[in-house]
Amino acid sequence: MISVQQITKGFDDLRRGRVAALDQVSFEVRPGEIFGLLGPNGAGKTTCLRILSTVLRPSSGTATISGFDVVKQPTEVRKRIGFMSSNTGIYDRMTAWEMAEYYGRLYGLPEDVLQSRLERLFETLQMNDFRDTLGAKMSTGMKQKASIARAIVHDPPVIIFDEPTSGLDVLVARKVLATVQSLKDQGKCIIFSTHIMREVEKLCDRIAIIHKGAILAMGALSDLQQQYHQPDTEELFFDLIERHEQQTRTTQTEFRLAAS
């Protein structure tokens, strides 16, 4: 469903010069699977997911979603994904219902399908008590639910969650995770980024640990734990990152020695 091949993305940064936010990243995600992108802040998770959602273009490499190329057929790709991140806010001047309805129309859903879909969605997400509340007056939890409703209003086969639980209290986060789980059970192809180990352990079928734009390890959590002889997810994560840091430091020293 999602196929990412050798994607690289660079930015110009005043402080650090040219930075590779993503360096030769490849992975695949199948339907009915939750793929976790685990990495610290600034690892390149958001950049990767933005490329998948066609908002950014990769500097090199290709990515396809349901067989559509994110660079060449962005509109087709956008029709088939639901995207939710901490950056996809909701409109202050629209109610939850209006917002979901508006996006449903943007996706070109026929009016009767849209209305029944909205009713069902608001039912399952338990949003009926604030369907006429303005975005500005919603609590964080309500906003998150409205965002999810907006992202899946067109029933997309692929759903991308970029840190959907950041800034939420435990109760709301739990509900969001439950929603993700139920979407997986509907057979959706889900990619999920986070920096919280517990979420990965609970939800993800496979994970990729990403750091400084590169994937350090990839596979089912249990396989990784066996492979690196580290039963604790947190320790595994730190081990991998530490090892990567050491490697780059050595290459840099070598480079400097060679240069001087």
Partner 1 sequence: MVAVLPLLLYPALGLGMFSMIGNFAEQPRTVVVLGEKHLPSPPLLDGERFVANWFMNPDDASKLMVVTDTAVELGGGGSNASRNLQLIKQAQELRKLVEQHTSLEDEFKQLKAALAEQQPDLSVTPAESPVAMQQRMQQLKEHLAAIDHELTNLFAASQIQVLIVIPDHLRENIERVNRLIVERKTKDLTDFTYPRPKIVKNRADDKSVVAYNRVREVLDAWESEILRQRLSALGLPKELPNPVGSAPLDLAAEAQISASFWSKMFPALLVIMAVTGAFYPAVDVAAGEKERGTMETLLVCPATRAEIVLGKFFTVMCFSMSTALLNLLSIGATGKYMLSNPVTGHGMPAQSGGITLPSVAAWAWLLVLLIPLSALFSALCLALATFARSSKEGQYYLTPLLMVSIGMTVFCMSPGIEIYPVHQASWFYSVIPVVNIALLLKALLLDPSSTGAWIFAGPVLATSIGYSLLALWWAIEQFSSEGVLFRDGERFEPGLWIKHLLCDKEPTPTFTEAGFCFVLIMLAQFGTMKTFGQTITSVSQDQMGVQMLKVLVISQISVIACPAVLMALILTTSLRQSLRLRWPDWRFLGAAVVLPLVLYPLVVELVASLTWFFPPLSEGAVRVIKSMSDGNQPLWLIVVAFAVAPAICEELAFRGFILTGFCRNGRTRLAIILSALTFGVMHMIPQQVFTTTLVGIVLGLIAVRSRSLIPGVVFHFLFNSMSIVRERVSTHLAAGHAEEFQRSVWSSFATLEVGGLRYTWLTLALCSTGSSAMLWWIWQTGRTKGNAEAVNPLFAGGLAPATQHPTCAS
CB of 106 to partner 1, least distance (A): 5
Nearer to partner 1, 92 or 132 (CB): 92
Nearer to partner 1, 11 or 223 (CB): 11
Interface residues toward partner 1, by CB under 8 A? 8, 10, 12, 14-20, 23, 50, 53-57, 59-60, 74-75, 78-79, 81, 83, 85, 87-92, 103, 106-108, 147, 150, 252, 255-256, 259
CB of 149 to partner 1, least distance (A): 12
DSSP 190-259: EEEEES-HHHHHHH-SEEEEEETTEEEEEE-HHHHHHHTT--SHHHHHHHHHHHHHHHHHHHHHHHHHHH
Nearer to partner 1, 8 or 230 (CB): 8
SS3 (DSSP) at 169: coil
**Alpha-carbon gap, residue 101 to 120, rounded angstroms:** 13
CB of 221 to partner 1, least distance (A): 29
CB of 70 to partner 1, least distance (A): 12
Query: What sign results for the dihedral spanned by CA atoms 118, 121, 123, 128?
Result: negative
CA 180 to chain centroid: 12
Measuring CA to CA, which residue among 220, 256, 216, 254 is closest to residue 238?
216
Nearer to partner 1, 181 or 251 (CB): 251
CB atoms within 10 A of CB 81: 24
Pairing of strands 68-69, 158-162: unpaired
> In angstroms, how far is the first alpha carbon of the chain from the final one?
48
CB of 215 to partner 1, least distance (A): 16
Alpha helices (H) along 34-139: 45-52, 74-79, 96-106, 111-124
CB of 172 to partner 1, least distance (A): 18
Nearer to partner 1, 148 or 200 (CB): 148
Structure tokens at 69: 């190329």
Nearer to partner 1, 35 or 103 (CB): 103
